[in-house]
Amino acid sequence: MPEKKTIDRVYITVPQEMTRLKGEEYAIIRSDGSRETKTADWNTFQLPSRISVGDNRLSFGTVINKFANTNDDGTVTFPFIASRTVPVKVAKRDENGAPILDENGRHLYEVVEVDPAALKEAIDSYEYLVMHKAFVKRDIEYVDTEGEKRKFNSVTFAPGTKVGDYDLSTAQFSPFSVIRGYRTQEVEVIPLPKDRVVFVNIPVEEDGHLVHKKGTENCIKVMPKELVEAAREQRKAYVAAHKAQTAEPIVEDAPTPELYDHDVEFGPEEHTSPRR
C-alpha cells in the first residue's frame, strides 16, 4: 500500500474575543450610532496593531480560515497548511502610514500573502489582555511639553486584581493600542509584547480619595503574562462570587468616575510601558 502523505500544518491560537466564527451573530455600530446585526459567513480573526511580517504591515488585518477549533481556555485555534501562504486583508496606507479612503470616506483594502509560520511567530510575540470595556478608555487627549495635542489609552484594573504581593485594584497603565472586541462590543483586547515590562501606576490615598500620581516612582514593573493571568483570576473569582446571587448575565462592575478617574493630567511619557 502506498504511504499516506502527511501535510505539515501551522496552528495559530488567539483569544476568542479576536475572532468571529461561522454562524455567529455580531453587531456593527456605525458612526451615526445605528446598530446592525450580521451573521458571520466565515471563521475569521483580527490581528493586533503594530504587527508586521517582513516588509508587510498587517495592523488590524483580518484572516479567514475554513476551519477553527474553540478551546476550553477561551482561545480559538486556526490550522494552516505550512506550504501555502496566508491571505491577510489589510487597509491600504499612503507613504506616511495614513489609511487611504475612497470618495465616500471608506477604507480601501488590499490582500497581502504571508508565510503562516512567520505570521504565527508575529502573533505569538504578544500576550493578550482581555478587559471589559468599562475598564478601558481610549483616545484621552493631553498636551505634550511642546504644546501639541496628543492622545493615549488607559486601562484600569478591577477590584481584586493581584500580582504577587501587589494589589492592583484601581491601578492603571497606558497601552499603545487597543483592539475593540471583534466578536463582541463589550470587551477590549490589549496586545502587550511578551518581552516588554509594563509600568503599572499604583494609586495612593489622599483626603479619602485614590489618586494616580505622575512619575515612574509610583509605578511597579510587571511582565505582560502576569497581568493576563491576574486579570483572568480576578474574573474567575468575580464570577464564582456572584454566580449564586443572580441568574442574570454577569457583567463586571463599571468603575465610577469618582473612584476611577481616567482623565489624569499626565500623558504616556509618565504612565506607560516602554515605547515600542
**Mean pLDDT of the 177-194 span:** 82
Name the pTM for this structure: 0.76
Answer whether residue 270 shows pLDDT above 70.
no
pLDDT of 258 higher than 60: no
- Over residues 149-173, the pLDDT tens digits come to 888 899 999 989 999 888 898 899 9
User: Beta partners for 201?
Assistant: 172, 219
* CB neighbour list of residue 152: distance below 8 Å, 6 or more residues apart: 139, 140, 142, 174, 267, 268, 271, 272
- CA–CA gap between residue 183 and residue 136 (Å, rounded): 17
pLDDT tens by residue, 133-151 = 889 988 888 888 888 888 8
Cα dihedral 178→231→173→15 (10° resolution): -20
pLDDT band at 47; cut points 50, 70, 90: very high
| 25 pLDDT above the threshold of 90 | no
For 110-129, write each residue's pLDDT tens digit: 999 999 999 999 999 999 99
Average pLDDT score over residue span 42-59: 90
Please check whether residue 122 is in contact with residue 242, taking contact to mean a CB–CB distance below 8 angstroms.
no
Please give the DSSP secondary-structure letter assigned to residue 99: B
Residue 79: per-residue pLDDT = 96
What does the alpha-carbon distance between residue 33 and residue 264 come to, in Å, rounded to a whole number? 28
99 or 222: which leads in pLDDT: 222
Stretch 243-257: mean pLDDT? 46
pLDDT in tens, 187-209: 889 999 999 999 999 887 777 77
Beta-bridge mates of residue 107: 101
**Mean pLDDT across the chain:** 81
Give the chain as a DSSP string: -PPPPP--EEEEEEEGGGEE-TT-EEEEE-TTS-EEEEE-SSEEEEPPTT-EETTEE-TT-EEEES--EE-TTSEEEEEEETTS-EEEEEE-B-TTSPBPB-TTSPBPEEEEEE-HHHHHHHHHTEEEEEEEGGGEEEEEEEE-TTS-EEEEEEEEPPTT-EETTEE-TT-EE--S--EE-SS-TTEEEEEEETTS-EEEEPPEEETTEEE--SSGGGEEEE-HHHHHHHHHHHHHHHHHHHHTT-SSPP-PPPPPTTT-----S--TTTSSSPP-
Exposed, middle or buried, 123 (CB in 10 Å: 0-12/13-18/19+)? buried
pLDDT at 267 over 70: no
Q: Is the pLDDT of residue 183 over 80?
A: no
Tens of pLDDT, residues 63-87: 999 999 999 988 999 999 999 999 9
Decide which of 212 and 52 is more confident: 52
Residues 129-133 have a mean pLDDT of: 90
Q: Where are the alpha helices (DSSP H) in the chain?
A: 116-124, 224-243
Instruction: Kindly list the domain boundaries of the chain, sorted by start residue.
Output: 9-124, 127-243
